[in-house]
């Protein structure tokens, strides 16, 4: 007797779970506003990329063309595949020689966008930007120098 | 506009004008060729429309947009696919049995064609009105499994063979449920002829007139016919994740297109049978006694009723496919032999009792 009850219970619970599943997909079908697909090249002007999307490493500059990078190379060490290359130079501040960056070289073609360099930076000089249109016709254009020409380190950053 | 409501005006007109010029035997020959061409055109249109519908519907079920680039809303996508398939190279394995390999897609197509011939599309639009219509259609539509088995056997590929064997086990099991669920309604109609079955639904469709029994039979028919057409969640025969593409792994180009087309044609055929037997075929929605309401419903031509009902069932089958996960082979056979078949047999018994007591409407 028990097995007979179980048999019919199985049928009804099975049917109920199927209907539940169909309700979920039916909701998707009847709510086309919830569609996630982006019509990319057409909506290029209105497209807003997600804030946490990791597209490339940028060195932040303020309006005086100053950045926070001290040239400590912590990001270069943290990078697992040698994407970042810091070329340092010595500059004279208050009569003594201090280490600073000459060139912050960033090889986009090697970057896996893991983002390990961002927390490694002691002065929060670099961030991940959410740009994504990186296609170029020449591979050499992927090697970027992140510090703008003529930029210098902010005052008070050591 | 009379011909839209009763196609015998149109077909009778063609027949009369042909009879004036030719002998009766020639007339029959010409009419057979005309019907064949009409079915071929219907096949091509069905393929184009259903593939597009399937891709769009599946996209919306998964919160995607589906094809959008070729034509407005991607409407020309399937046309582009057809051109691509026609230009592909027909490949064959070195050790494949070339005769059977080439024969298999045609067997599947022929089975679909033969089943299509007996379907009533609208009033007077009915190529062959057998008095054993349902028996004929269910017999012929299961011929397709021979094509699938041949395709798997001759491909010289282990995945094809496994897919074909699974498909054979599946179709032979589920054929029973399809037949028995149709029999449940045949108990009420007392006839296997499609035209009689449709006429018997002039005062209401069997799914409404046949109480809960007809509803159960309809659900069983939906499940079993989905399995019979090898569609998800019963698509073990071509389970992409395990068998690459199952029995048609080794096919390319036009022959692959035939398998693809036959799948959609079979889906149309089982939906048409379901619509005819349970939902009244081309019969408009009638409620016994409501003359005014019935007259309003009669203004919609029967062919729209038929295709509307068929597309409703096709939509249900697509809904199943894009919602449920695929069954394992043992679960598949458990479902059929332990659940569907006993329930079906009980259901037939109840229906026979109802019909005997005259408790149906």
pLDDT, tens digit, for every residue of A28-76?
Answer: 888 888 888 888 888 888 888 888 888 888 888 888 888 888 888 888 8
Look at residue B341 and tell me if it is in a domain.
yes
Tell me the C-alpha distance between A117 and B356, whole Å.
81
- Residue B322 with chain A: CB contacts under 8 Å: 25
Does B65 contact chain A (CB < 8 Å)?
yes
CA distances from B134 to A78, B174, B210 (A): 73, 16, 18
Q: In the numeric block, which tokens belong to residue B253?
A: 């180009």
Strands A126-129 and A143-145 turn out to be unpaired
The whole-number pLDDT of residue B21 equals 81
The whole-number pLDDT of residue B139 equals 85
Residues A24, B62: C-beta atoms closer than 8 Å: no
ipTM computed for the complex: 0.72
Domain ranges of chain A: 2-34, 56-153
How close A100 comes to chain B (CA, Å)?
50
Does A3 contact chain B (CB < 8 Å)?
no
Q: In the numeric block, which tokens belong to residue A121?
A: 């930076």
H-only helix segments in chain B: 2-5, 8-21, 24-61, 77-87, 98-117, 133-141, 144-154, 158-189, 194-199, 206-209, 211-228, 240-243, 253-278, 291-298, 302-321, 329-334, 341-357
Look at residue B31 and tell me if it is in a domain.
no
Strands A143-145 and A96-107 turn out to be antiparallel
Tell me the C-alpha distance between B351 and B346, whole Å.
9
Of the partner residues A22, A36, A39, the one whose CB lies closest to the CB of residue B323: A22
Does B322 contact chain A (CB < 8 Å)?
yes
Residues B65, A34: C-beta atoms closer than 8 Å: no
Evaluate whether B246 touches B163 at the Cβ level (below 8 Å): yes
The total number of structural domains that make up chain B: 1
The whole-number pLDDT of residue A73 equals 85
Does A77 contact chain B (CB < 8 Å)?
no
Q: In the numeric block, which tokens belong to residue B344?
A: 């079906």
A-B contacts at Cβ under 8 angstroms: 38
Look at residue B267 and tell me if it is in a domain.
yes
Which residue from A minimizes the CA distance to B66? A37
Instruction: Specify which residues A59 forms β-bridges with.
Output: A126
Residues B324, A18: C-beta atoms closer than 8 Å: yes
Look at residue B99 and tell me if it is in a domain.
yes
Look at residue B7 and tell me if it is in a domain.
no
Contacts of B279 (CB under 8 A, 6+ apart): B205, B207, B309, B312, B313
Tell me the DSSP string of B115-151: HHHT-EEETTEES---TTHHHHHHHHHTTHHHHHHHH
Tell me the C-alpha distance between B308 and B303, whole Å.
8
Which residue from A minimizes the CA distance to B220? A15
Residues A39, B323: C-beta atoms closer than 8 Å: no
Does A25 contact chain B (CB < 8 Å)?
yes
**Residue for token digits 């074909």?**
B164
The whole-number pLDDT of residue B1 equals 60
Helix axes B302-321, A2-30, angle to 10 degrees: 110
Side-chain-side CA neighbours of B30 within 13 Å: the count stands at 14
CA distances from B319 to B92, B121, B305, B316, B327 (A): 35, 24, 21, 5, 16
CA distances from A121 to A73, A115, A116, B201 (A): 9, 11, 9, 78
The whole-number pLDDT of residue B361 equals 65
Q: What do you get for the CA distance between the two ends of chain A, in Å?
A: 81
pTM: 0.81
Contacts of A71 (CB under 8 A, 6+ apart): A86, A88, A89, A99, A100, A101
Residues B60, A11: C-beta atoms closer than 8 Å: no
User: For residue A117, is pLDDT > 80?
Assistant: yes
Taking only the tens place, the pLDDT of each residue in A81-106 is: 888 888 888 877 777 787 888 888 88
Does A18 contact chain B (CB < 8 Å)?
yes
- Residue A18 with chain B: CB contacts under 8 Å: 323-324
pLDDT per residue as tens, chain B (361 positions): 666 677 777 777 777 888 888 788 888 888 888 888 988 898 888 888 888 988 888 888 888 888 888 878 888 888 888 888 888 888 888 888 888 888 888 888 888 888 888 888 877 777 777 888 888 888 888 788 888 888 888 888 888 888 888 888 888 888 888 888 888 888 888 888 888 888 888 777 777 777 788 888 888 898 888 888 888 788 877 767 777 777 778 888 788 888 888 888 888 888 988 888 888 877 777 776 677 777 777 777 888 888 888 989 999 888 988 888 888 888 888 888 888 888 889 888 888 888 888 776 6
Look at residue B260 and tell me if it is in a domain.
yes
User: For residue A129, is pLDDT > 80?
Assistant: yes
- Residue B318 with chain A: CB contacts under 8 Å: none
Look at residue B151 and tell me if it is in a domain.
yes
Does B315 contact chain A (CB < 8 Å)?
no
Instruction: Specify which residues A129 forms β-bridges with.
Output: A56
Which residue from A minimizes the CA distance to B56? A29
- Rg over alpha carbons for chain A, rounded to the nearest Å, is 27
The whole-number pLDDT of residue A137 equals 92
The whole-number pLDDT of residue B3 equals 65
Could you tell me which CATH class the domain A56-153 is placed in? alpha beta
Does A40 contact chain B (CB < 8 Å)?
no
Does B76 contact chain A (CB < 8 Å)?
no
């Amino acid at each position: 007797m028990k097995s007979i009850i179980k048999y019919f219970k199985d049928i009804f619970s099975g049917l109920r779970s199927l209907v539940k599943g169909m309700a979920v997909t039916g909701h998707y079908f009847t709510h086309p506003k919830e569609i996630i697909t982006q019509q990319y090249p057409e909506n290029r002007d209105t497209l807003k990329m997600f804030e946490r999307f990791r597209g490339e490493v940028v060195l932040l500059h303020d309006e005086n063309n100053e950045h926070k990078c001290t040239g400590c190379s912590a990001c270069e060490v943290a990078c697992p595949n040698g994407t970042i290359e810091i070329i340092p130079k010595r500059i004279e501040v208050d009569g003594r020689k201090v280490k600073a960056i000459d060139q912050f070289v960033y090889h986009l073609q090697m970057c896996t966008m893991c983002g390990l360099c961002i927390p490694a930076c002691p002065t929060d000089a670099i961030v991940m930007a959410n740009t994504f249109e990186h296609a170029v016709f020449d591979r050499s254009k992927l090697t970027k120098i992140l510090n703008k020409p003529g930029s210098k380190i902010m005052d008070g950053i050591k | 506009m009379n011909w839209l409501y009763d196609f015998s005006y149109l077909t009778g007109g063609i027949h009369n004008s042909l009879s004036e010029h030719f002998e009766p035997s020639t007339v029959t020959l010409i009419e057979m060729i005309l019907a064949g061409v009409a079915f071929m055109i219907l096949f091509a249109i069905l393929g184009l429309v259903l593939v597009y519908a399937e891709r769009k519907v599946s996209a919306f079920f998964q919160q995607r947009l589906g094809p959008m680039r070729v034509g407005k809303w991607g409407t020309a996508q399937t046309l582009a696919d057809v051109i691509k398939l026609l230009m592909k190279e027909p490949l064959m394995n070195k050790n494949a049995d070339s005769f059977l390999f080439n024969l298999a897609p045609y067997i599947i197509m022929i089975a679909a064609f033969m089943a299509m011939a007996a379907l009533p599309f609208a009033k007077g639009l009915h190529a062959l009105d057998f008095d054993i219509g349902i028996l004929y259609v269910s017999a012929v539509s299961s011929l397709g499994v021979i094509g699938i088995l041949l395709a798997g056997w001759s491909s010289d590929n282990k995945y094809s063979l496994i897919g074909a064997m699974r498909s054979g086990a599946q179709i032979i099991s589920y054929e029973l449920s399809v037949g028995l669920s149709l029999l449940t309604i045949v108990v009420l109609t007392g006839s296997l002829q499609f035209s009689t079955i449709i006429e018997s639904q002039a005062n209401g469709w069997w799914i409404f007139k046949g109480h809960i029994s007809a509803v159960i039979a309809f659900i069983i028919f939906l499940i079993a016919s989905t399995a019979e057409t090898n569609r998800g969640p019963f698509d073990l025969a071509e389970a992409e994740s395990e068998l690459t593409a199952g029995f048609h792994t080794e096919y390319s180009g036009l022959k692959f297109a035939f398998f693809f087309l036959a799948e959609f044609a079979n889906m149309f055929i089982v939906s048409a049978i379901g619509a005819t037997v349970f939902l009244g075929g081309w019969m408009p929605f009638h409620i016994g006694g409501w003359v005014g309401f019935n007259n309003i419903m009669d203004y919609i031509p029967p062919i729209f009723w038929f295709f509307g009902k068929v597309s409703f069932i096709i939509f249900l089958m697509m809904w199943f496919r894009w919602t449920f996960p695929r069954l394992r082979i043992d679960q598949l056979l458990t479902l059929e032999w332990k659940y569907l078949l006993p329930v079906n047999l009980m259901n037939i018994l109840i229906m026979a009792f109802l019909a005997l007591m005259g408790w149906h409407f």
